[in-house]
Structure 1
């Protein structure tokens, strides 16, 4: 195993996502993660319909 100096970025495509610009037109994982961490809910559920 090695290590990487650049973080892994994930963007979930949406209906109008442009594959050339997923970070601009997709939903970034970091935004979903932040919303979950900021939520006062005790139970959190994320459903990915692939």
Structure 2
């Protein structure tokens, strides 16, 4: 059962920027900060490492 929760205008703009992204927005999306690095370290383990011969 489909549910319509976006207006026609919102549907047309869905998945698009409202304008060019700012430098701050770009940095947040493409650079890792200390909190990101802590999360990555917490998720790392022997399961995620490549095995070499």
TM-score between the two structures when normalised by the length of structure 2:
0.26
Task: Please identify which structure carries the higher strand content.
Answer: 1
TM-score between the two structures when normalised by the length of structure 1:
0.27
Structure number with higher relative contact order (C-alpha < 8 Å, ≥ 6 residues apart): 1
> Rg larger in 1 or in 2?
2
